[in-house]
């Protein structure tokens, strides 16, 4: 393990080598070890290992005899200045980290407010959807009730129609029923003795038949429809 003083120097050297991307060296680093002064020469050099993008550094430490002056072209170490520089660098990095953290907090607060607003909108939409669903359920129940009533009416009309047909059939009187377009709706069996009608003729226009009675109906029925008070005409 490096002595604290030497560790601070090494940390500062690595930081500067990373920042400037160049090798640097210090000579005659004075440290106290085992109650005596020692002189250490240090070199730090950026190093790349193939495709590895991680920052790597070669560090060389060499103990040297105590010297009175530094060798030419080698940076002499001012330990207090380097420690102060390292502290300043750390303080600057800390300030940048604080600013980044504050910006991140503000972004998170903004995102949280937007998320809260979106959540409130979704809650309101869900309440509206729930209300609409209840209304649709109520309408569906009403439609079910109306449909049941119509079904009962259809059943009653079917029964009345059957009763009427049974009544007409039992009277042995020929009857012919036409709609407003003079199409055959129904007829009783006795009328087939006078007019040649079959079941599949239901829906056909009365004018398709050459029988004089049918032709008379086609001539006179529109007049009766227009003026129901016309006198009854016998065929």
- Number of structural domains in the chain: 2
Query: In the prediction, which pLDDT does 71 show?
Result: 41
CA 180 to chain centre: 56
Which residue among 68, 85, 112 closes a domain?
A: 68
Q: Tell me the average confidence (pLDDT) per consecutive run of 10 residues in the chain, 235 residues long.
A: 78 84 85 78 85 82 70 48 74 84 90 92 93 92 92 92 80 85 89 89 91 88 80 61
Dihedral pair phi/psi, residue 152, rounded to 5°: -65, -40
Domain that holds residue 217: 172-226
Which residue among 68, 89, 113 closes a domain?
A: 68
Query: In the prediction, which pLDDT does 72 show?
Result: 39
* Residue whose C-alpha is closest to residue 201's, from 225, 184, 177, 218: 184
Domain assignment of residue 219, yes or no: yes
Query: In the prediction, which pLDDT does 49 show?
Result: 74
Query: In the prediction, which pLDDT does 135 show?
Result: 92
**Dihedral sign (CA 158, 164, 167, 173):** negative
CB 50, CB 75: distance < 8 Å? no
| Helix pair 79-170, 4-20: axis angle to 10 deg | 60
- DSSP codes joined into one string, 179-234: -TT-BEEEE-GGGGGTS---GGGTTSBGGG---HHHHHHHHHHHHHHH-TTSPP--
How far apart are alpha carbons 66 and 42 in whole angstroms? Answer: 14
- Give the other-Cβ count within 10 Å of 8's Cβ: 16
> What 3-state class would DSSP assign to 34?
coil
The secondary structure of residue 174, as a DSSP letter, is -
Domain assignment of residue 137, yes or no: no
Domain assignment of residue 19, yes or no: yes
CA angle 109/115/117 to nearest 5° reads: 105
Which residue among 34, 68, 102 closes a domain?
A: 68
Domain assignment of residue 114, yes or no: no
């Amino acid at each position: 393990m490096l002595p604290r003083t030497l560790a601070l120097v090494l940390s500062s050297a690595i930081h500067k080598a990373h920042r400037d991307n160049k090798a640097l060296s210090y000579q005659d680093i004075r440290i106290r070890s085992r109650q005596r002064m020692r002189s250490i020469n240090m070199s730090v050099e950026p190093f790349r290992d193939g495709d590895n993008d991680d920052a790597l550094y070669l560090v060389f430490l060499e103990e040297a005899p105590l010297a009175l002056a530094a060798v030419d072209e080698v940076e002499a170490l001012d330990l207090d200045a380097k420690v102060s520089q390292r502290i300043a660098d750390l303080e600057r990095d800390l300030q940048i980290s604080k600013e980044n953290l504050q910006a991140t907090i503000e972004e998170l607060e903004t995102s949280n407010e937007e998320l809260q607003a979106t959540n409130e909108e979704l809650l309101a939409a869900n309440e509206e959807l729930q209300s609409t669903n209840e209304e649709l359920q109520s309408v569906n129940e009403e439609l079910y009730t109306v449909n049941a009533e119509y079904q009962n009416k259809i059943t009653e009309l079917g029964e009345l129609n059957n009763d009427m047909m049974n009544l007409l059939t039992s009277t042995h009187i020929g009857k012919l029923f036409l709609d407003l377009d003079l199409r055959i709706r129904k007829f009783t069996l006795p009328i087939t003795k006078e007019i040649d009608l079959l079941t599949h003729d239901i829906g056909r226009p009365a004018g398709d038949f050459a029988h004089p009675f049918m032709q008379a109906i086609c001539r006179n029925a529109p007049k009766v429809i227009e003026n129901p008070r016309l006198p009854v005409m016998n065929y």
